[in-house]
């Protein structure tokens, strides 16, 4: 990853549409790549800078209008932040670190399987005095392929299931990027690159730290246990007023050796011990349905011969490319309907054989979800419908503050000439407040 040059971002809240009776404004700017936020009991805002714009992840504090750096030097990227009783919990690549009030830091969990496509995400605190977090998958859809840029550095890496599974006899042929002289490589599901599955009904053993799992541990990081799996990237989870754990999950892409087109992002309730469908289901339905067939591609075949269980039905599903991220639950009637979930949609480039493009109508906005009936409505979006440098670019998190206002972290803007390069100093925190008409 290379660092992009410095750039000043001009902002214009009037380019963003919010419902009548609400007003959006800039709360903080000149940040790098904010990925998440949390408030302390004093009303200070703690911000997790992912580090993808500068290669130096940091925890930043905004207090009474001043900004200071609390800690830095984490693994790239930071994926989430939380706070309890003076302690800051930082999730970064493969590690959960706790920052103490006296400034000391301690890694309470390390060695997580986060060197693939997705890593360990923000932790949440349960009423059982446990911490909960999502662990993303190593690959997009269960097969290591040419879309995995980490293959050369981590040639033995692959996905692991959460329970014993039986695989169908599916193998996938690609160019051999590890041993070019061999020409091609044949790779099986849940296997390293170039390692085929050699028999019908191949058995794979489950692991506690499974790909796409929900993990629970004691507050000090001990007693790690898996309580669900089958989620591609469970990015954010929070308990609601009924003590139910709500989880945002990002769906599969049309890329790699086993592309899945039109896969859905999902909002789920935690069902203890459940399998949520990855890599053979999306949105509660099998990927073998015709609508998940890529353009000029073959229909996806199931990798699992026998599914572990029937996947739970999501609370809500979101169109492919939404790339849902952090969310919060409204608890104040001063802002809106209590219990509604407001979720940041990062959006993204769609990868198809026809080329890369960004679609209007998907992502780059904040959505409101009624968890009772699953209805989804757009709450904040650029008036153009597209990501904008002067408006919303890449929303990453939504948090309600002690003032009952909504705060939205907006990732740095992307460099249009360089793939996956973000510009320092272009991250923003927006604020939306209810106004009296």
Q: Per-residue DSSP letters for 242-288?
A: TSPEEEEEPPP-S-SSS--TTPPEEEEE--TT-B--TTTEETTEETT
pLDDT digits (tens, 9 = 90+) for 196-233: 999 888 999 999 999 999 999 999 999 999 999 999 99
pLDDT digits (tens, 9 = 90+) for 243-291: 999 999 999 999 999 999 999 999 999 999 999 999 999 999 999 999 9
Q: Count other Cβ atoms within 10 Å, centred on residue 235.
A: 29
Count CA atoms within 13 Å of residue 108 on its CB side: 24
**Is residue 240 classed exposed, middle or buried when 0-12, 13-18 and 19+ CB atoms within 10 A define those classes?**
middle
The residue with tokens 């407001």 is: 342
Q: How far apart are CA 141 and CA 304, in angstroms?
A: 12
What class, spelled out in words, does domain 13-135+209-434 have in CATH?
A: mainly beta
The answer to whether the CB of 46 falls within 8 A of the CB of 28 is no
The confidence score (pLDDT) of residue 413 equals 86
The residues that bridge with 433 in the sheet, in sequence order, are: 23
Please state whether the peptide bond connecting residue 77 to the residue before it is cis, i.e. omega within 30 degrees of 0: yes
Q: How far apart are CA 425 and CA 31, in angstroms?
A: 5
Q: How far apart are CA 297 and CA 257, in angstroms?
A: 11
The answer to whether the CB of 287 falls within 8 A of the CB of 263 is yes
Q: Is the dihedral of CA 110, 113, 118, 120 positive or negative?
A: negative
The answer to whether the CB of 20 falls within 8 A of the CB of 398 is no
Residues in the chain, pLDDT under 50? 1-4, 350-357
Q: How far apart are CA 229 and CA 423, in angstroms?
A: 35
The confidence score (pLDDT) of residue 219 equals 98
Q: Determine the 3-state secondary structure of 13 from DSSP.
A: helix
Q: How far apart are CA 371 and CA 341, in angstroms?
A: 7
Q: Determine the 3-state secondary structure of 1 from DSSP.
A: coil
Read off the pTM: 0.95
| pLDDT > 90 fraction of the chain, expressed in percent and rounded | 88
The confidence score (pLDDT) of residue 359 equals 55
- Taking the alpha carbons at both ends of the chain, their separation in whole angstroms is 48
The answer to whether the CB of 49 falls within 8 A of the CB of 74 is no
């Amino acid at each position: 990853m290379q660092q992009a040059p410095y750039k000043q971002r001009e902002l214009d809240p009037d380019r963003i549409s919010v419902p009548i009776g609400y007003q959006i404004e800039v709360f903080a700017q000149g940040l790098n790549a904010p990925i998440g936020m949390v408030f302390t009991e004093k009303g200070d805002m703690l911000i997790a800078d992912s580090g993808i714009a500068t290669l130096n992840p940091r925890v930043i504090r905004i207090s009474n209008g001043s900004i200071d750096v609390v800690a830095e030097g984490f693994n790239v990227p930071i994926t989430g932040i939380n706070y309890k009783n003076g302690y800051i919990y930082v999730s970064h690549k493969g590690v959960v670190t706790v920052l103490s009030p006296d400034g000391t830091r301690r890694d309470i969990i390390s060695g997580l399987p986060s060197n693939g496509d997705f890593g360990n995400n923000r932790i949440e605190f349960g009423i059982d005095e446990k911490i909960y977090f999502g662990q993303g998958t190593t690959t997009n859809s269960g097969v290591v392929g040419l879309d995995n840029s980490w293959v050369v550095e981590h040639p033995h890496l692959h996905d692991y299931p959460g329970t014993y599974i039986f695989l169908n006899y599916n193998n996938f042929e690609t160019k051999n990027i590890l041993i070019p002289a061999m020409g091609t490589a044949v790779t099986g599901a849940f296997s390293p690159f170039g390692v085929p599955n050699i028999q019908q009904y191949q058995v794979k053993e489950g692991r506690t730290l499974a790909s796409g799992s929900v993990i629970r541990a004691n507050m000090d990081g001990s007693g790690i246990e898996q309580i669900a799996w089958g989620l591609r990237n469970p990015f954010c989870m929070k308990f609601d007023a009924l003590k139910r754990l709500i989880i945002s999950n990002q769906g599969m892409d049309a890329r790699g050796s086993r592309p899945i087109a039109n896969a859905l992002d999902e909002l789920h309730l935690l069902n203890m011990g459940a399998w949520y469908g990855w890599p053979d289901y999306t949105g509660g339905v099998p990927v073998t349905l015709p609508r998940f067939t890529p353009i000029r591609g073959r229909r996806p075949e199931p990798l699992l011969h026998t599914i572990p269980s029937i996947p739970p039905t999501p609370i809500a599903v979101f169109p492919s490319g939404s790339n849902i991220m952090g969310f919060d639950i409204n608890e104040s009637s001063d802002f809106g309907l209590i219990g509604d979930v407001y979720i940041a949609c990062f959006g993204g480039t769609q990868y198809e054989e026809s080329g890369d493009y960004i679609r209007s109508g998907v992502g780059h906005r904040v959505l409101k979800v009624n968890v009772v009936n699953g209805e989804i409505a757009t709450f904040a979006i650029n008036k153009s419908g597209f990501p904008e440098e002067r408006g919303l670019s890449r929303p990453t998190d939504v948090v309600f503050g002690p003032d009952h206002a909504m705060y939205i972290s907006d990732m740095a803007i992307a460099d249009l000439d360089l793939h996956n390069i973000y510009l320092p100093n272009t991250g923003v925190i927006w604020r939306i407040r209810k106004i009296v008409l």
